[in-house]
Structure 1
Amino acid sequence: MKRMIAGLAAGGLLLLSACDSNAAAPIEAAASGTPATTAPATTTPPTTPPVEKRKVTTTRKIPYKTRKVDDPTLAAGKTRVRRKGATGIKKLTYEVTYTAGAETSRKLLGQKVTRPPVTRIIAVGTKRARSCDPNYSGACVPIASDVDCAGGSGNGPAYVQGPVRVTGSDIYDLDRDGDGIACDT
């Protein structure tokens, strides 16, 4: 042991043999002010996980819109599909980065509409239900408590623009001269 301590004092390394059971040597080395050195630990350098970039193309549906239009030929409150809607399709191209096999980032490079959506068109009826008296033709004589010729001396509440042919009974007394044509003067 003295030989090892003497070597330490001369600037050598402190080495303890496996059969030396004296634990005071490292303490003596520390007391002498000379640092004790140990063998460096064997470490493997950190490995960088593999990074891979790929272009990935996906498709997405584009929902269609619905537009309502007035239809004067359709009864009020009724609806009819004039044109069915169809979803569109767009193609999206991404640059995807994979680190150690797992996706770590995604960047959109571009998009292109391959099939545009088709707008659905719904007709909404605006036609008022006509309630014309079946006793007259040529013009609509409304069904009301009283009907008079427009521009005449009657007080309504409803009026008809003539001439009007009487096809049944003249319930509103519009054909005053009895020739079968009402509101002709």
Structure 2
Amino acid sequence: MTPPPKRVPRVVTKNLVVTRAIPFKKKNVKDPELPQGEVVVTTVGVKGTKKLTYAVTYTDGRETRRRLVRQQITVRAVTQVTSIGTLEEESEPAGGCDPNYGGGCVPIASDVDCSSGSGNGPAYVTGPVQVIGSDVYDLDRDNDGLGCEDG
């Protein structure tokens, strides 16, 4: 009796292309133009992609070997840049100045009147002062943008 013929395994090699994401990096930079503590993303990070080509060997339909033969970056990742403010704001005078007024310090108080007027305070301001926000103390009686124009 003759032995059965030896079975020859079927070996096939194919190329397999896989696309993978490349994560973006993150970088923080100090920005002397931004107020201290303010954080702004100045460059948005973007993922990149790369194409990997493998030579895959199959023996009788089962993968038996995988070898990387080529790697190509198709889209470069963009680093995300975050700016962190370092500008120190000038300190306000004692009691603080109301941010609704410019050109002089209008104190923050329960009521402020023009020093040349007949108001009863408790705080007074010598003008003129420019109204740059809301005229919370009604210092600009003629609504021309200037308060305490008479001194």
Asked if Structure 1 and Structure 2 have the same fold, meaning a TM-score greater than 0.5 normalized by the shorter chain, the answer is yes
Displacement of 1:88 in angstroms is 0.1
Partner of 1:116: 76
Displacement of 1:63 in angstroms is 0.4
1:66 is aligned, of 26, 44, 61, to: 26
Aligned residues with identical type, % of pairs: 39
2:88 is aligned, of 122, 128, 131, to: 128
Displacement of 1:132 in angstroms is 3.8
In structure 2, list runs of 5 or more residues that go unmatched.
104-124, 128-151
- Give the TM-score of the pair, scaled to structure 2: 0.59
Aligned mates of 1:65, 1:100 — CA distance in 2: 43
1:49 is aligned, of 9, 21, 25, to: 9
Partner of 1:163: none
Structure 1 stretches of 4+ with a deviation exceeding 2 A read none
Aligned mates of 2:38, 2:62 — CA distance in 1: 55
Instruction: Give 1:36-185 correspondences, 5 Å limit.
Output: 41-133=1-93
Displacement of 1:74 in angstroms is 1.6
Please list the CA deviations of residues 6-41 of structure 1 after superposition, one character each: whole Å capped at 9, or x if unmatched: xxxxxxxxxxxxxxxxxxxxxxxxxxxxxxxxxxx5
Please state which structure has a larger fraction of its residues in strand: 2
In structure 1, list runs of 5 or more residues that go unmatched.
1-40, 139-166, 170-185
Bigger Rg over Cα: 1
Aligned mates of 1:76, 1:45 — CA distance in 2: 83
Displacement of 1:48 in angstroms is 1.8
Q: How many residues align?
A: 99
- 1:49 partner SS: coil
- Greater relative CO, 1 or 2 (CA 8 Å, sep 6+): 2
Displacement of 1:100 in angstroms is 0.7
Please list the CA deviations of residues 76-105 of structure 1 after superposition, one character each: whole Å capped at 9, or x if unmatched: 222111111010000111111001111110
